[in-house]
Amino acid sequence: MIVEKTPLEGLLLIKPNVHEDKRGYFYENYRDELFEANGLPTNFRQDNQTKSVKGTLRGLHYQLKYPQGKLVRVSLGMVYDVAVDIRKTSPTFSQYFSVNLTDKDHLQMYIPPGFAHGFLALKKENIIYYTCTNYRSARHEVGILWDDKDLKIKWPTRKPIISKKDKNNLKFLEFNNL
């Protein structure tokens, strides 16, 4: 397993050791001793899966109370994955990092608490897993508009498929004033 730092403190890319042959492949997407040795959390509480058709954008999500760290990976398809630093005391506050996560390279991203998260599905079918360090708390969920001008995220689409809930997310300035 190779762990790479990103420009945003605590946000990490994880490249698992993939063993491939004519039958397919095998890799460990989580192993507590390796995560601990690389400064990653080992206290995951909840595992989630979502299936999204091409053009679906989910996010940008965060929980104000009971924040979650997320280990994100794609088992089918490809997503443009985005994490926005919303830690008000961080030198990279309001900056984002994006990466394509695919079922071909098995790259994973660890998003620590203090980041809003979202993704855009890029293939016909996409299955995304995210393992969380805290439980989902629907009462404490908050969203930031995916296309907020203050964030300047370069999404690879202008007309995504978005849920009614995500269409009503807060502008970043409104979120920042919470």
As annotated, the active-site residues are 61, 130
DSSP, res 103 = T
Q: Residue 19: what residue type?
A: H
The beta-carbon contacts of 23-31 under 8 Å, at least 24 apart in sequence, are 25/106, 27/106, 28/1, 29/71, 29/73, 29/106, 29/108, 29/129, 30/71, 30/131, 31/1
Cβ neighbours around 37 below 10 Å, total: 11
The residue among 151, 149, 110, 123 whose CA lies nearest residue 54 is: 123
HSE-CB at 94 with a 13 A cutoff on CA atoms is 11
Cβ neighbours around 159 below 10 Å, total: 7
Helices (H) and strands (E) in the chain, counts: 3, 13
